[in-house]
Structure 1
Amino acid sequence: MDLKQIHELIKIINKSNIGEISIEDKDGKVTIKQKEEQVVTVAAPAHHQVITTAPAPQPAANPAPAAPAAPAAPAKTDNLITIKSPMIGTFYRRSSPDKPVLADVGTEITPGKVVCIIEAMKLFNEIESEISGTIVKVLVDDASPVEYDQPLFLVEPA
């Protein structure tokens, strides 16, 4: 079972009321459980890895009226585009420790430019930009774990 299939299973579990699902094939066994915190366990013949994801949002029975929040600082975030993580893994800003940062605040990016690396299951995946613009904020610290669809960068489109 590959990483894309596991991501699809996680999406299905998050959208359903299924508490647990286990799938086993020649490559290993995948068990996905949804409780207070959703835990995904991936067991393959060579290794065992546990990935914790954010709990699925639960609809509120009686939502309380939202209190108006005081703006911290006026910022032009209306037109910013978010680059999100396409997978669960570890976020790296450099292709190796001795290389320069791939993308930083002020970096001009174009479609196809590598903006970061995400390590997932011992594979280093180059994450490429799909847009043109300038990075205005890096939202994740280097060598931090990231979740599927987690915002990584804010980009002002060109």
Structure 2
Amino acid sequence: MDIKEIQNLIKFVAKSGASEVKLEMDDIKITIKTGSESDTTIVHQIPATQVPQMAAVPTVAEPATSATTTEAAATTEENSKYITIKSPIIGTFYRKPSPDKPLFVEVGQTIAEGDVLCIIEAMKLFNEIESEVSGKVVKILVDDSSPVEFDQPLFLVDPS
């Protein structure tokens, strides 16, 4: 696992709202905790040859987390007129039914109530997520093949 992957993991945990995530692999253990005392705390137990490299991660991650929070607050204000479609389950988000098929929806596309927007895979079950509103897709908030949490925003829809 390299620095970029660890930084991406930190950003994902910060966005997801999870309070603690533990990851153990053969040669590395990572615990990421979020809370009111500090934005992100990382504990690494890895071979000594990599310790100086990993020590820089918290310094890099903390400003990114606070900048992300500021951007999220500004985005929330401008997106308040839109309806947010959220994930009903934890799983992996997919924008198309299979790799060789077209996307379910794209930005700018008009959708109707009951249209399939995406699939969320949970425990090897593929769950179609249907729209509960009609309108125009303004923004897709999750990348394809990304893990999503319960109640995580997936789409912004303009109902007008």
Please list the CA deviations of residues 83-138 of structure 1 after superposition, one character each: whole Å capped at 9, or x if unmatched: 00000000000011111110110111111000000000000000000001000100
CA RMSD for the aligned pairs? 3.2
**One of 82, 85, 92 as aligned partner of 2:84:** 82
Name whichever structure is richer in strand by fraction.
1
**Match of residue 149 from structure 2:** 147
Q: TM-score, normalised by structure 1?
A: 0.55
**1:56 shift after superposition:** 8.4
**Match of residue 92 from structure 1:** 94
Q: Any stretches of 5+ residues in structure 2 without a counterpart?
A: 1-17, 23-31, 38-69
**Match of residue 118 from structure 2:** 116
Contact between 2:19 and 2:35, CA under 8 Å: does it hold in 1?
Answer: no
Give the length in aligned residue pairs.
101
Structure 2 residue 39 is the aligned partner of structure 1 residue 37:
no
Instruction: List 4+ stretches of structure 1 deviating above 4 A.
Output: 54-59, 69-73
Alignment of 1:22-33 (within 5 A): none
**One of 112, 131, 134 as aligned partner of 2:133:** 131
Alpha-carbon distance in 2 for matches of 1:78, 1:36: 26
Identical residues among aligned pairs (%): 59
Alpha-carbon distance in 2 for matches of 1:78, 1:103: 21
Distance change >3 Å, CA 133–CA 57, structure 1 → 2: farther
Alpha-carbon distance in 2 for matches of 1:129, 1:78: 18
Alpha-carbon distance in 2 for matches of 1:117, 1:36: 26
